Chains A and B, each alone.
Chain A
Amino acid sequence: KAGVTQTPRYLIKTRGQQVTLSCSPISGHRSVSWYQQTPGQGLQFLFEYFSETQRNKGNFPGRFSGRQFSNSRSEMNVSTLELGDSALYLCASSSPILRDGASYEQYFGPGTRLTVT
């Protein structure tokens, strides 16, 4: 089975621009979560999608948004980029099979490294 894929892997943008990152989960996985990783704040939860619905959202400004498509692929968008948005953006998927109500292990993609200049 192919793992979680993220595109692009590296991105350089200028302040004020917007960016769209893409994530393809493992086949059959319906839950996709996004995390931001920076040296200062560590790993921070952005949002989570399940069956095209946002199920949970972290404490980020409205410039950060996302969506999930019917094939479970997900995109996240950051508008009006700021220098502080420079980070590694990680996507993770999980399988709902055998779910007993508890969260399960996440399978992470390699990440998209965004640099804002």
Chain B
Amino acid sequence: SQQGEEDPQALSIQEGENATMNCSYKTSINNLQWYRQNSGRGLVHLILIRSNEREKHSGRLRVTLDTSKKSSSLLITASRAADTASYFCATGRSYNTDKLIFGTGTRLQVFP
């Protein structure tokens, strides 16, 4: 079963607006990653935040991590139509394994 729950399940916004997605997980982690998936294709890695980090930026992406609440958020600023995709959080829990536990995903639609 999946560990993470994402909220909202779906989000529709206009170009230029910000999009915020939230992820909650259940057990201790050593990192949390966000991935994007376009229309049933492969996943693209966006950003990784380690358990001892609280915030990370990459271009228009901002990720926060609150290990006390077992939650993370992904903020996409100044959204573009090309950002339309499904976004998944994934947690890495153990050393010496690449196994990821994925969340349920958020479907983002950005209207031009």
Partner-B contacts on A (CB < 8 A): 4, 31, 33, 35, 41-45, 48, 50, 55-56, 58, 88, 90, 92, 94, 101-111, 113
Task: Give bound CA distance, A31 to B42, whole Å.
Answer: 17
Chain A residue with the shortest CB-CB distance to B41: A110
Q: B105 and A42: CB pair below 8 A?
A: yes
Instruction: Say yes or no: is B99 at the interface (Cβ < 8 Å to chain A).
Output: yes
Binary interface encoding of chain B residues 84-99 relative to chain A, with 1 for a CB under 8 A from any of its CBs, else 0: 0000101010111111
Q: B42 and A42: CB pair below 8 A?
A: no
The 8 Å CB contact of A45, one of B30, B101, B103, B105, is B101
Q: B42 and A90: CB pair below 8 A?
A: yes
Shortest CB–CB separation between residue A44 and chain B, in angstroms?
Answer: 8
From known contacts A102-B31, A103-B31, infer whether A48 and B98 are also in contact, taking CB-CB under 8 Å: yes
Partner-A contacts on B (CB < 8 A): 2, 30-31, 33, 35, 40-45, 48, 50, 88, 90, 92, 94-105
Shortest CB–CB separation between residue B89 and chain A, in angstroms?
Answer: 11
Task: Give bound CA distance, A43 to B65, whole Å.
Answer: 22
In the bound complex, residues from chain A placing their C-beta under 8 Å from that of B90 are 43
Q: A101 and B95: CB pair below 8 A?
A: yes
Shortest CB–CB separation between residue A78 and chain B, in angstroms?
Answer: 19
Most chain-B CB neighbours within 10 Å: which of A31, A102, A107?
A102
Task: Give bound CA distance, A113 to B41, whole Å.
Answer: 9
From known contacts A105-B33, A105-B48, A106-B45, infer whether A43 and B2 are also in contact, taking CB-CB under 8 Å: yes
**Can you report 7 A-B residue pairs in the complex whose CB atoms are below 8 A from each other?**
A45-B99, A45-B100, A88-B40, A102-B50, A102-B95, A111-B40, A111-B42
In the bound complex, residues from chain B placing their C-beta under 8 Å from that of A109 are 42
Q: A106 and B105: CB pair below 8 A?
A: no
Task: Give bound CA distance, A52 to B44, whole Å.
Answer: 25
A42-B105, A105-B45, A106-B100 given; name 17 further pairs at CB < 8 Å. Answer: A4-B42, A33-B100, A35-B100, A41-B2, A43-B90, A43-B105, A45-B101, A50-B98, A55-B96, A90-B42, A103-B97, A105-B33, A105-B48, A106-B45, A106-B98, A108-B43, A111-B41
Q: B92 and A102: CB pair below 8 A?
A: yes
